[in-house]
Structure 1
Amino acid sequence: MKIKYFKSTIIVALLFFAISCDNDILDKAPVSSFSGEGFYLTTSDAQAGIYGIYNSTQGVFRTNFAYWGEGRADNVKTEQSGEGLTLIQNNLNESASSANWSSLYTMISRANYAVKYIPNVYGEGDPAGNQLIGQARALRALAYFYLVKVWGDVPLITEPYTSIEQDIFVTKTNKEAVLDQIEEDLVYAVNNCTEKYNNNNDRIMINKGSANALLTKVYMWRHKYTEALATSAVVLKNPLYSLVSTMDEWGKIFTDGYSKESIFEVGYNDDQTNSLRVLYAIGSYAIFTPSEKFKASYETGDLRISYVYDTTIAEPKAIWKFLGKGVSDEDASKSHQNIVLIRLADIMLLRAEALNQLGGAANKAEALSLLNTIRIRAGLPAFETEETASTQYGNLESAILHERSIELCFEGQRWFDLVRTGRAISTMNPLNGLSEESNLVWPISTTVLNKNPNMEQNDYYK
């Protein structure tokens, strides 16, 4: 049975945040009479506040995990004329729904209230309170990490709005300073979150393992390869996580959720649904389907492909991965599958990439071993040597990145991999003319610009 952030407590949390949080915290009206301090009175209030942050993640990622992570990359195409086409053709503009960061800042606002007021409930230094603050700070870090990856320089807000004296018309902060704060928050989470919950919460709530995994992804984004090796080693040794063995189990990572390979998922259910079916599987109306380039990129004999789309037809109308092998593309029912944001195969391949970047015979050998572990599970032959991988893909780095493209397809990773590794322009220029570094970020939404006179549009879109 799925555990979805304890709905009765969520209701309390949402009542609080309906008062304390605007839809766009950057444009928040001054607080006049309400104080978060008046809500955070008991341990139940503190827990409700944390559940409210998790509730925000549902809105943040329900559609945008694919718009941000797949829509501008080379694995998808579309037959539609809406935002999916805008992204694929690199015709972004400030009216695009994916250009609006409001939901991310609502998530951050909820975290800021929790970080500030939970110590009033538990007292400074209390382990139970610190554990809750660790979750809040990790979720705040998750939100800021997406903000930096999507927009670059963004406003950094770490205090809740509690006074009319506070400046509500904020400006941008250099992305490196934001990333420094992200690292600080995640290190706090690693040091203070629980090892495990001993139930499905280990997949949908932050613990030490998921905090270390997210920190690994941040280190890789910043090319801090030595640091990424340290955190990824902790994740790989964590008994909570192991690779599934069979392809049927691989398919259930996404359709059923809560697998032993999963590290962090955004949880949904029949009442709290997402856009997976609209994005990937409503017949000719699906926003994204596999591109010709993606379909040609599989190696013969790869067992994953039949779980990803229908290989028996030339033009598949659906991506099956999250919704299930053979899912009907005529079924318009709402989708409730969890969105898997981080899993073990992701961290293993990032570790392989870091090892390869650092170089040396031992590091290269371990990188190759990690790559081969993923390949063998998929029914593919192992690369016997680095030269074997290089012969097929040019070099070991390209072989690892190709494996990420296949293994993590449509999970919201591909665009960020291209940007992180400096391959976005060379990959996408032949497809949509992408040619400038300043075009790698999104425009800032008209909604944000109109409400904040101090907010400047990103340079490419001025």
Structure 2
Amino acid sequence: MIIASSIMLSCEEFLEVDVPDNRIISSTVFNDQESAESAVQGLYNELSTAYFAAGGPNSVSVLTGLSADNLITTVTSQNLREFEENELTVQNPNNYEVWSSAYNLIYQTNSVLEGLANASSINQQEIDRMRGEALFLRSFVYFYLVNLYGEVPLVLTTDYRQNSTLSSEEVQVLYNQIVNDLEEAKELLASMPQNKLRATSLTVNAFLARVYLYLENYQAAEIVSTDVISNSAVTLEANLDDVFLINSSEAIWQISPESTGTGALHTREGNFFILDGPPNSLNPVGLSSDFLEIYTNQDNRLQQWIASFNDDTGTYFYPFKYKVKYATTGEITEYTMVLRLAEQYLIRAEARANQGNSSGALTDLDVIRERAQIPSIMNTNPNLPVPAILDSIAVERRRELFTEWGHRWMDLKRTDQANEVLVPIKSLWESTDILYPIAEEELMKNPNLEQNPGY
């Protein structure tokens, strides 16, 4: 079933797990705040290891980068090559892991929400805060499911029998749930102080701004992104090398390597992308030539966020936003970035442009450009028409947000640019490739699921 992988343990086996391990054990144990807090922390820990979010070969950062035009495979990997060539089969295991790990986390958030609803011995203010965090995480996961697969089942309970035969919901229904969860979470987390490793009202606002942009609710996107930009808890880093550090002033939400429980002190992204030798099965992707061509030589992002490895087989360019490939001793210096302030400027720029506020859009766009040491458009071409401004924003989003949680692929999808951009460079591209297939295994388990067109 959709959440079969998440309920393989019996209730008794759940109860055998010690609370300090920060794993969800059962809603019945939410008799005190400690056990509830442990379960909520378990959601964050689960996110850090869930395939779709973990930054490795099954993550949205990697797979959508291949599906779009930012990444290429550098060694033979049939499973990854299917993403790069947009020739996904329903048996592809990476695609299956995206779906199953996402629904596993949704099941766990529902388990926490049900446990909190029955936690009469816990202070209501604390229940509200933890509920807000769980709602935020559920909306975060559904955002990726709806953008990768389109119509998917809306699972809101832990009822296995009910969930196992759910039909998919329309995209608008799913987005309504996402917005409702975020709006409620925003209220519930209003008094929680900023914590870059947990959801707060600032975190919710940042993500809500993105959701409103995707829904083309430009007025709301501008209002909410402005709230984030004006928040004194975050400021843009002047030095690009500081953006992904643990003490980054730009960070809104990050994930610590400690959450994985592996003892690693490096990010999964750094470990996966950085090359210290020729490409291999553990480091099988690099940056495409098409992507590299969008930078000018004076762009500091080209110098500071992109690196290369050279040997007698060639030159391989790779993402270098994270500088640490491997560490098990010493201090953690980098966290995985999930949400950061730069995106908010780009969200507001796009929202303003779509409302006819060209000067406001260019002002926001230039904040990002000037940090990268490329010329301000307001100084060089202040009368740029709106369509050209939107094109410039799209380019800047690609330059700024590459290999961060699938932005390029989802930007091409939401702006209906995928065919125009990918047809010239992908010989096997078809318009139906914009949605991933539902894994064959899921279709066999749930007869009410329908395959996406083209598969």
Same fold (TM over 0.5): yes
Residue deviations 1:128-167 (CA, integer Å, cap 9, x gap): 21111000000000010010011100000111227x6x45
Residue deviations 1:66-120 (CA, integer Å, cap 9, x gap): 2343121112222222233221111111222332211111111111111122132
Structure 1 residues 384 and 132, CA gap change in structure 2 (3 angstroms): same
| TM alignment of 1:18-29, pairs within 5 A | 22-24=4-6
| TM alignment of 1:135-146, pairs within 5 A | 135-146=133-144
Tell me, yes or no, if the aligned pair for 1:309 and 1:316 is still in contact at 8 Å: no
**Which amino acid is the alignment partner of residue 321 of structure 1?**
F
**Which residue of the partner structure matches residue 248 of structure 2?**
259
Q: 1:271 aligns with which of 263, 278, 281?
A: 263
Q: 2:156 aligns with which of 155, 158, 161?
A: 158
Q: 1:204 aligns with which of 182, 192, 197?
A: 197
Q: 1:70 aligns with which of 65, 68, 87?
A: 65
5+ residue gaps in structure 2?
A: 15-24
Residue deviations 1:396-455 (CA, integer Å, cap 9, x gap): 001111111111122232111111211111111111146544321101112322322332
Q: Distance in 2 between matches of 1:371 and 1:167?
A: 44
Q: Distance in 2 between matches of 1:387 and 1:347?
A: 23
Q: Distance in 1 between matches of 2:216 and 2:115?
A: 35
1:115 is paired with a residue of what secondary structure?
Answer: helix
**Which amino acid is the alignment partner of residue 73 of structure 1?**
A
**Which amino acid is the alignment partner of residue 420 of structure 2?**
S
**Which residue of the partner structure matches residue 222 of structure 1?**
215
Tell me, yes or no, if the aligned pair for 1:115 and 1:136 is still in contact at 8 Å: yes
Q: Distance in 2 between matches of 1:265 and 1:69?
A: 20
Q: When you count strand as a share of all residues, which structure comes out higher?
A: 2
Q: 2:453 aligns with which of 452, 456, 459?
A: 459
**Which residue of the partner structure matches residue 94 of structure 2?**
98
Q: Distance in 2 between matches of 1:88 and 1:33?
A: 40
Percent of matched pairs sharing the same residue: 25
Structure 1 residues 275 and 441, CA gap change in structure 2 (3 angstroms): same
**Which residue of the partner structure matches residue 406 of structure 1?**
399
After superposition, the CA RMSD in angstroms is: 3.1
**Which amino acid is the alignment partner of residue 201 of structure 2?**
K
Q: Distance in 1 between matches of 2:5 and 2:234?
A: 36
| TM alignment of 1:181-196, pairs within 5 A | 181-196=177-192
Say whether residues 1:234 and 2:227 are aligned partners. yes
Tell me, yes or no, if the aligned pair for 1:308 and 1:320 is still in contact at 8 Å: yes
Say whether residues 1:418 and 2:412 are aligned partners. yes
Q: Distance in 2 between matches of 1:237 and 1:45?
A: 36
Q: Distance in 1 between matches of 2:144 and 2:134?
A: 16
Tell me, yes or no, if the aligned pair for 2:146 and 2:174 is still in contact at 8 Å: yes
Q: Distance in 2 between matches of 1:407 and 1:137?
A: 28
**Which residue of the partner structure matches residue 116 of structure 1?**
114
Q: Distance in 1 between matches of 2:107 and 2:370?
A: 44
TM-score, length basis structure 1: 0.83
Cα distance, 1:275 vs. partner? 4.1
TM-score, length basis structure 2: 0.84
**Which residue of the partner structure matches residue 42 of structure 2?**
52
**Which residue of the partner structure matches residue 296 of structure 1?**
293
Structure 1 residues 205 and 156, CA gap change in structure 2 (3 angstroms): same
Cα distance, 1:262 vs. partner? 1.0
Cα distance, 1:205 vs. partner? 0.8
**Which residue of the partner structure matches residue 7 of structure 1?**
none
**Which residue of the partner structure matches residue 320 of structure 2?**
321
Structure 1 residues 342 and 171, CA gap change in structure 2 (3 angstroms): same
1:77 is paired with a residue of what secondary structure?
Answer: strand
Structure 1 residues 422 and 183, CA gap change in structure 2 (3 angstroms): same
Say whether residues 1:81 and 2:80 are aligned partners. no
Q: Distance in 2 between matches of 1:371 and 1:212?
A: 20
Cα distance, 1:59 vs. partner? 2.1
Q: Distance in 2 between matches of 1:117 and 1:105?
A: 18
Q: 1:309 aligns with which of 298, 301, 306?
A: 306
Structure 1 residues 389 and 68, CA gap change in structure 2 (3 angstroms): farther
Cα distance, 1:377 vs. partner? 0.9
**Which residue of the partner structure matches residue 168 of structure 1?**
164
Q: Distance in 1 between matches of 2:122 and 2:174?
A: 25
Q: Distance in 2 between matches of 1:394 and 1:179?
A: 27
Tell me, yes or no, if the aligned pair for 1:389 and 1:395 is still in contact at 8 Å: no
* Bigger mean CA offset, 43-52 vs 63-72: 63-72
Structure 1 residues 332 and 396, CA gap change in structure 2 (3 angstroms): same
Q: Distance in 2 between matches of 1:380 and 1:398?
A: 16
Cα distance, 1:259 vs. partner? 1.0
Tell me, yes or no, if the aligned pair for 1:138 and 1:211 is still in contact at 8 Å: yes
Q: Distance in 2 between matches of 1:258 and 1:380?
A: 26
**Which residue of the partner structure matches residue 124 of structure 2?**
126
How many residues matched? 422
Structure 1 residues 421 and 195, CA gap change in structure 2 (3 angstroms): farther
